[in-house]
């Protein structure tokens, strides 16, 4: 139960877990807590922090999950994306000379969801704290988690729902089923591929044209970028088709398919006219703040279960939702008494 670990009360457990979540390492958290008069060793800190997360996730999944927030009558933006961290797994075979297990540290892609509100001008509504969460358990799991949040936020009553993400097939292949399962009104739904990812693909194509001088590459990208912004998507596809030949023709054709497959989600002129975002900046920011600044770096490896816990902790902390996480964790204690 929350508050039992190392004889800490729920309030103390929350403070300790929050410190471990906010800082760059558990060792740093121990030092900061000691300066505050809370002496605790790294092992106890680790156990308490991850138990705190486990209780919150258990409450979320097994108890009646309700949110005080609602997106009814609002413009709601929804995004999903992946980051990168390294997961530590024990190698088979002999140990090191110091009798330690050898290990692999393979890259894994945690998936994050991000839900935020937009104002009438299409800007982020700062009065509403976003919802961020994630998992290491793959695309299907994060979309189940996303559906969980959207139902709790009464998404069917939203004025508009904007799904915006990069062009990854694992995202867009699952969104139609999500829309159907949530029974969203198609007239209220907008699908947008991040404009800046699209421009990135134009740069890839230009770099594949090895014989072009750099000035021609820049001019070509600039011209097609203008086509994207003004709704001339067919001109973009035609321009890419015209250069889909030569040594890198197949690679350029593959990039052309990216635009062909996402024409309906690249109506940037219409989106701008209707004060809808064309970039998924908040999602990119979430990946950086939740994952990159705490969980990714040289020499940083995670056990899978600890990474799963830290993803949830960092998501709520960086979204300004720590009190909501505390309520979830306490719900387990209250329910078990």
Closest by alpha carbon to 69, among 189, 160, 179, 157? 157
The 10s digit of each residue's pLDDT in 139-174 is: 999 999 999 999 999 999 999 999 999 999 999 999
Domain ranges, ordered by start, for the chain: 5-65+327-336, 75-192+280-304, 196-269
Domain 75-192+280-304 is found in CATH 3.30.420: yes
Residue 5's pLDDT is 44
Contact 225, 202 (CB under 8 A): yes
To which residue do tokens 């699952």 refer? 174
Q: Measured between alpha carbons, how far is 72 from 156 in angstroms, rounded to an integer?
A: 8
Q: Please tell me the predicted confidence (pLDDT) of residue 112.
A: 98
pLDDT for residue 61: 83
- Considering only the C-alpha atoms of the chain, give the largest distance between any 2 of them, rounded to a whole number of Å: 73
CA–CA separation, 123 vs 120, rounded Å? 7
The residue whose two tokens read 């890419």 is 240
Cβ atoms of 149 and 69 within 8 Å: the answer is no
Run of H or E residues at 105: strand 103-108
C-alpha 100/C-alpha 94 separation (Å) is 9
Tokens representing 139 are 């695309």
Instruction: Give pLDDT tens digits for 293-311.
Output: 999 988 899 999 999 999 9
Report d(CA 310, CA 134) in Å as an integer: 10
Helix pair angle (42-62, 322-336), 10° resolution? 80
Report DSSP letters for 81-129, one per residue. Answer: EE--EEEEEEPSS---TTSPPPEEEEEE--EEEEEEEE-TTSSB-TTS-
Please tell me the chain's helix, strand, coil percentages from 3-state DSSP, rounded to the nearest 5.
55, 15, 30
Written as tens digits, the pLDDT of the chain (337 aa) is: 444 444 677 788 899 999 999 999 999 999 999 999 999 999 999 999 999 999 899 888 876 667 889 999 999 999 999 999 999 988 777 777 777 777 788 999 999 999 999 999 999 999 999 999 999 999 999 999 999 999 999 999 999 999 999 999 999 999 999 999 999 999 999 999 999 999 999 999 999 999 999 999 999 999 999 999 999 999 999 999 999 888 899 999 999 999 999 999 999 999 999 999 999 999 999 999 999 999 998 889 999 999 999 999 999 999 999 999 998 888 765 544 4
Distance CA(204)–CA(122), nearest Å, equals 29
Distance CA 253, CA 268 (A): 23
Q: How far apart are CA 213 and CA 260, in angstroms?
A: 27
Q: What pLDDT sits at residue 3?
A: 43
């Amino acid at each position: 139960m929350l508050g039992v670990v190392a004889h800490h009360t729920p309030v103390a457990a929350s403070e300790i877990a929050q410190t471990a979540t906010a800082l760059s390492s558990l060792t740093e958290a121990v030092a900061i807590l000691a300066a505050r008069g809370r002496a605790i060793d790294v092992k106890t800190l680790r156990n308490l922090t991850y138990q705190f997360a486990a209780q919150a996730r258990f409450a979320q999944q097994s108890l009646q999950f309700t949110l005080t927030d609602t997106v009814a009558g609002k413009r709601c933006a929804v995004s999903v994306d992946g980051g990168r961290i390294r997961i530590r797994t024990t190698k088979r075979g002999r140990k090191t000379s110091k009798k330690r297990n050898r290990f692999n540290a393979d890259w894994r892609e945690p998936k994050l969801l991000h839900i935020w509100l937009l104002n009438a001008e299409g800007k982020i509504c700062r009065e509403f704290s976003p919802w961020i969460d994630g998992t290491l358990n793959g695309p299907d799991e994060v979309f189940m988690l996303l559906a969980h949040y959207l139902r709790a936020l009464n998404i069917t009553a939203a004025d508009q729902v904007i799904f915006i993400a990069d062009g990854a097939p694992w995202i867009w292949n699952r969104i139609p089923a999500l829309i159907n399962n949530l029974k969203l009104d198609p007239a209220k739904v907008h699908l947008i591929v991040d404009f800046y990812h699209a421009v990135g693909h134009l740069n890839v194509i230009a770099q594949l044209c090895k014989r072009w001088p750099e000035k021609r590459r820049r001019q070509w990208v600039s011209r097609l970028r203008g086509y994207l912004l003004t709704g001339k998507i067919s001109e973009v596809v035609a321009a890419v088709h015209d250069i889909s030949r030569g040594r890198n023709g197949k690679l350029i054709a593959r990039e052309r398919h990216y635009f062909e497959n996402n024409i309906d989600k690249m109506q940037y002129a219409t989106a701008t006219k209707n004060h809808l975002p064309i970039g998924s900046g908040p999602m990119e920011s979430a990946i950086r703040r939740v994952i990159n600044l705490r969980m990714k770096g040289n020499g940083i490896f995670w056990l899978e279960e600890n990474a799963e816990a830290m993803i949830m902790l960092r998501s709520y902390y960086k979204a300004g939702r720590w009190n909501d996480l505390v309520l979830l964790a306490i719900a387990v204690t209250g329910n078990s008494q």
